[in-house]
C-alpha cells in the first residue's frame, strides 16, 4: 500500500514539527490497511482525532456556535459517499464510507447523516471543541446574533472584503485528506470542520464530488483551501482530467493549480496519487504539509 496525506493548505503552522509527526503517523497507519478504502479511512481518522487539524476534534466553529463536520470518499470505480453538516461527529470519513457502502446515495446531510452514523455505530456525541477553538470563540469581541438574516449580514460584513475567505485563525484551511493505492485500486478521501465562523449550515467543497475529492482508475485527488473557489472550479476533477489526458501526477497537480490560480482569488492545494504509485502535490498558499508512506 502507498498512502499520501495532507494537513491543509493555508498559513504556516505555529508548531509544524508535531503536526508533521502526526501526518507521518497517519500515512504510515494507512499502509497497514488491507485495501485503499481502508487505507484512506485509517489515515484520515488519525488526523480527525488530532486537534491540530481542522477536521473532527478541533474543527472550526460556525456562526451559531456549533461545530459541524463534512467528509467525502471515492474509489476508482467512481463509487462515492459523502456526508456533511454533522454536529457531534468526529469520524466524518466513516460516515462518508457508510453513505457509499450502505446507501444508494452519494451525499447525506445534517441530522439525517448523524442518525445514519448512530445507526451504524459511529459515535455521534463527540466533543469537537479543542482548547484552541474554545479560546478563540470566547475571545471574540462580537458574535452574530438574531435570525439567519442577521447571521448572513454579519458573515458578509466580516469576510466580504477578503478575497481568500480568511479569518484570524489558521484553522480555516487545515482540511485533511488522503489518497491510497495498492498498485491496482485507488481511493481518495477528504475531511473538514469547515470555515471559521462561516454562516451556520455552510457546506464547502469537501463533501462535493469533484471539488474536495475525486477518484478514477487514472488516480485519486484530495484538495484543500478556499472552499467556495474550489467548489466553483471543481479542482479535484480538473486534476483528475489532467491525469486522464496523460500527465503524470506532479504535472497534473501543477496544471490544475495553475488553472485555479488564473480563475480564483483564493488559495488551494492538492495531492495526487496514481495506481503505479506516482504522486504529486501543489499549493499556492503559504504552506501545505504532506506525508507519504509505503510501497508495493
* Active site residues per annotation: 175
Cβ pair 75, 187 in contact under 8 A:
yes
- DSSP bridge pairs for 199: none
Residues 6+ apart with CB under 8 A from 210: 234, 236, 237, 240
Residue 33 main-chain phi, psi, to 5 deg: -75, 165
- The owner of cell 457546506 is 203
Nearest to 196 by CA among 137, 284, 144: 137
- For the chain, give me the number of helices (H) and strands (E)? 9, 11
DSSP class of 185: -
Burial class (CB in 10 A: 0-12, 13-18, 19+), 262: exposed
Q: How far does the chain reach from its first CA to its final CA, in angstroms?
A: 6
Nearest to 7 by CA among 170, 132, 177: 177
Cβ pair 222, 177 in contact under 8 A:
yes
Cβ pair 64, 37 in contact under 8 A:
no
Give the H or E element holding residue 70: strand 69-75
- H helices present in 103-175, as ranges: 110-119, 131-138, 148-159
Ordered strands of the 213-216 beta sheet: 213-216, 219-225, 268-273, 279-283
Amino acid at each position: 500500500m502507498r498512502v499520501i496525506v495532507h494537513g491543509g493548505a493555508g498559513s504556516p503552522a505555529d508548531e509544524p514539527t508535531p503536526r508533521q509527526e502526526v501526518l507521518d503517523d497517519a500515512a504510515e497507519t494507512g499502509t497497514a490497511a488491507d485495501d485503499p478504502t481502508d487505507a484512506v479511512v485509517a489515515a484520515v481518522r488519525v488526523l480527525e482525532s488530532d486537534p491540530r487539524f481542522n477536521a473532527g476534534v478541533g474543527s472550526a466553529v460556525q456562526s451559531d456556535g456549533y461545530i459541524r463536520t463534512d467528509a467525502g470518499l471515492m474509489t476508482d470505480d467512481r463509487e462515492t459517499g459523502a456526508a456533511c453538516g454533522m454536529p457531534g461527529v468526529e469520524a466524518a470519513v466513516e460516515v462518508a464510507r457508510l453513505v457509499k457502502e450502505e446507501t444508494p446515495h452519494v451525499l447525506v446531510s445534517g441530522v439525517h447523516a448523524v442518525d445514519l452514523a448512530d445507526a451504524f455505530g459511529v459515535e455521534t456525541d463527540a466533543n469537537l471543541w479543542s482548547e484552541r477553538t474554545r479560546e478563540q470563540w470566547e475571545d471574540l469581541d462580537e458574535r452574530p446574533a438574531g435570525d439567519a438574516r442577521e447571521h448572513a449580514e454579519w458573515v458578509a460584513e466580516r469576510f466580504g472584503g477578503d478575497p481568500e475567505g480568511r479569518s484570524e485563525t489558521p484553522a480555516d484551511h487545515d482540511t485533511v485528506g488522503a489518497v491510497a493505492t495498492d498498485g491496482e485500486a485507488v481511493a481518495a478521501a477528504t475531511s473538514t470542520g469547515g470555515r471559521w465562523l462561516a454562516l451556520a449550515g455552510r457546506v464547502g467543497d469537501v463533501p462535493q464530488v469533484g471539488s474536495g475529492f475525486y477518484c478514477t482508475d487514472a488516480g485519486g485527488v484530495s484538495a484543500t483551501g478556499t472552499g467556495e473557489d474550489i467548489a466553483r472550479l471543481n479542482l479535484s476533477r480538473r486534476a483528475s482530467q489532467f491525469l486522464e489526458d496523460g500527465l503524470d501526477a506532479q504535472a497534473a497537480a501543477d496544471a490544475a493549480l495553475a488553472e485555479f490560480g488564473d480563475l480564483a482569488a483564493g488559495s488551494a492545494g492538492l495531492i495526487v496519487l496514481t495506481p503505479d504509485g506516482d504522486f504529486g502535490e501543489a499549493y499556492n498558499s503559504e504552506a501545505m504539509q504532506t506525508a507519504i508512506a509505503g510501497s508495493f
